[in-house]
Amino acid sequence: MDKKSQIIQNKVFLVETLFADPDFILQHVQQAKLITHREYLNLKDIPGGEKRAIELLDKLTGKGEGTCCQFIDLLRKDDILENFPTLKDHAIFGSPVHEIAQYKIEQFPRGICVIINNVDFTTMSERRGSDEDHKFLAKVFRWLGFKVVEYRNKTADEMKNLLKALGTTVNGDCFVCCVLSHGVSEGVCGTDGNVVSVDEIREPFTGNNCQSLAGKPKLFFIQACRGNKNQNRVRVQADSPEDGESEMEVDGDADPFDITIPADTDFLIAKSTTDGHSSYREKKGSWFIQSLCRNLEKHCPQGTDIQTILLCVNNDVSREGIKSKQMPVHEVAMRKKLILRPRPVSH
């Protein structure tokens, strides 16, 4: 359960606990910069400790998951627990044993986001709409603080060579690779129709091939078919009406410590569809990439981790279409949570 939901679920307990000394908790929340000075003064002017505690919790949950995580951490501090002893060992903290660490994302730029956009092929159809995916990806990852490196219409050998070269020079706290192309079950197609396997895309950034990224998160987003089969449909109760089906195409031929970790650690590979199945794209872009970008824009400012965001993408894409269906899938070899906040705005 996320921290925002924990606060909401335990709101009655927190109000009953904190309203005994609302000024004390308000001061600590303001000192931790979870609220602004103006918000602090407005809350302090609210009459009655219970109402003040309710308004404080509403204000914090309204600021999103990141603020809620910081508030829960604040409640764990010794001086807070000393003042509110009933907080000790309460379920709102969960089990410290199961707390998941986060990757350290401090550098700016965060790292490199490489986009390979194959549109024109010698023996396959033009991938109309892929440029819309390309533009949206570049916009979102620049906003998230990455240096975006863009390539267009690369053969299979050119893709392999540029990825090998990147593996020797790339640096930063995180690496992102987006590949937009036709695909088959064996991998992703270059513009010459030859195939690059997912292992060949990933390999330059593993273990000894890329020491600069050892222990750091490496994300791969692949928009391509993995076969020609359509996903079977199953009827479920709808939460909302489905949109009408539009014209579409398919993307196919049809730490500082002296420790060691596995060479294949810290990878997340998100693919637009399951093995053997088609991946759909329209003139306005592909179902997968458009949903990915929308969900990054929506959830990253709230401090939501990448794996949770990808679950939102899976849910969105699974609802697309009427006759044709698609299900993204991601392979995870991550040790920590990855949270990518937008880059700071310079004034």
The DSSP code sequence of 83-100 is H-GGGTT-GGG--GGGPP
Catalytic residue among 134, 182, 277, 330: 182
182 is catalytic: yes
Positive or negative: CA dihedral 80, 85, 89, 94: negative
Give the amino acid at 94. Answer: G
CB 60 within 8 A of CB 7: yes
- Active site residue: 210, 225, 293, 300, which one? 225
Contact 73, 29 (CB under 8 A): no
Can you list the positions of beta strands (E) in the chain? 111-117, 147-152, 174-180, 183-184, 187-189, 195-196, 218-223, 249-250, 267-271, 280-282, 285-286, 329-333
* CA dist., res. 260 & res. 214, Å (int): 10
Residues β-bridged to residue 299: none
Burial group, residue 287, by CB count within 10 angstroms (0-12, 13-18, 19+): buried
Residue 341: CB atoms within 10 Å = 15
What is the Cα–Cα distance from 19 to 58, expressed in whole angstroms? 14
Enter the DSSP assignment of 271.
Answer: E
Our answer to whether residue 225 is catalytic in this structure is yes
**Tokens 């920590």, residue?**
336
Structure tokens at 293: 């970008």
Q: For residues 291 and 67, give the distance between their C-alpha atoms in angstroms, rounded to a whole number.
A: 25
Return the DSSP state at 187. E
| Side-chain half-sphere exposure of 103, counting CA atoms within 13 A | 28
Q: List residues with catalytic annotation.
A: 182, 225
